[in-house]
């Protein structure tokens, strides 16, 4: 970039390289790159690494990245949540509890997931207690006929498989979608806003629902826009 194009790389450029390498699972190269470029003091770098560690289940580097973020951003909840989720995916429930205790000691609270959906000029806000289950039950049956299999590994709680499936259907974006499908005019695109990152199972559900209902669904989560249409997403399953 410097020699050929005369562009001085910024932190965001370095983070992109870290993202490419870590998402490809090249963690040795990631660590070497961070050390070579002296990037260890930047939270954005470790946030990128931590997200990839969750994707690949790399507990050792994930814990290192999280501990770095605890130092750099001690009051941000995301690193604690990501590390807790990695522990939970490995069945290390004692470590999950330790993270929760640490959060409590530091006065850090997890932000509850919520979504916004616009219907006929009105904005409705949903958290997980809202009641749109009749429509969701209909969608569950239609999705099961289409071959959809819930990704219960996305429910990071020590509960039964059946309870995990029910838990997934209480996610706020599905509740928002249920209201929109009931209330919005047929054929109109559905637009949902979410304050957190959409989980993998909800992402898969939205793709299938966009196909079985022939509806375009746009979700703006914490990271990016997702445009679901005819069973696929604009992010190409990478977000």
pLDDT in tens, 71-95: 999 888 889 988 988 888 888 888 9
pLDDT of residue 120: 73
Quick check: pTM over 0.85? no
Residue keyed to tokens 């898969």: 204
Any idea which of 93-102, 107-116, 189-198, 214-223 has the lowest mean pLDDT?
107-116
More confident residue, 101 or 132: 101
Q: What are the distances in angstroms from CA 179 to CA 34, 116, 176, 199, 224? A: 46, 11, 5, 20, 22
pLDDT of residue 129: 46
Residues paired with residue 218 on neighbouring β-strands, in sequence order: 191, 227
Q: Which residues contact 100 (CB under 8 A, 6 or more apart)?
A: 84
Per-residue pLDDT for 15 more than 70? yes
pLDDT above 90 coverage of the chain, percent: 39
Per-residue pLDDT for 41 more than 70? yes
Per-residue pLDDT for 114 more than 80? no
Work out the pLDDT band at 139, boundaries 50, 70, 90: confident
Work out the pLDDT band at 49, boundaries 50, 70, 90: very high
pLDDT of residue 112: 67
| Residue in 172, 212, 163 with CA at minimum distance from that of residue 192 | 172
- Structure-block tokens of residue 21: 């390498």
pLDDT of residue 126: 62
d(CA 146, CA 209): 10
Instruction: Characterise 145 by phi-psi region: left (phi > 0), alpha (psi -120 to 50), beta (else).
Output: alpha
pLDDT of residue 76: 87
Mean pLDDT score across all residues of the chain? 86
């Amino acid at each position: 970039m410097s020699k050929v194009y005369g562009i001085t790389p910024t932190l965001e450029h370095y983070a992109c390289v870290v993202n490419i390498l870590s998402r490809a699972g090249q963690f040795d190269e990631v660590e070497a790159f961070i050390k070579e470029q002296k990037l260890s003091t930047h939270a954005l770098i470790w946030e990128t690494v931590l997200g990839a560690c969750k994707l690949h289940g790399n507990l050792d580097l994930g814990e290192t990245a999280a501990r770095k973020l605890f130092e750099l951003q001690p009051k941000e909840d995301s690193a604690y949540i990501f590390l807790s989720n990695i522990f939970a995916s490995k069945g290390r429930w004692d470590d999950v509890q330790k993270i929760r205790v640490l959060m409590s000691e530091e006065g850090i609270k997890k932000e509850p997931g919520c979504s916004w959906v616009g219907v006929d000029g009105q904005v409705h806000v949903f958290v997980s207690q809202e009641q749109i289950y009749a429509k969701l039950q209909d969608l569950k049956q239609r999705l099961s006929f289409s071959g959809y299999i819930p990704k219960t590994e996305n429910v990071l709680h020590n509960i039964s498989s059946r309870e995990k499936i029910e838990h997934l259907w209480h996610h706020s974006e599905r509740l928002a979608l249920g209201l929109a499908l009931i209330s919005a005019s047929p054929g109109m695109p559905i637009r949902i806003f979410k304050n957190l990152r959409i989980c993998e199972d909800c992402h898969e559900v939205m793709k299938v629902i966009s196909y079985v209902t022939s509806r375009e669904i746009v979700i703006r989560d914490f990271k990016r826009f997702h445009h679901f249409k005819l069973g696929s997403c604009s992010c190409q399953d990478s977000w």
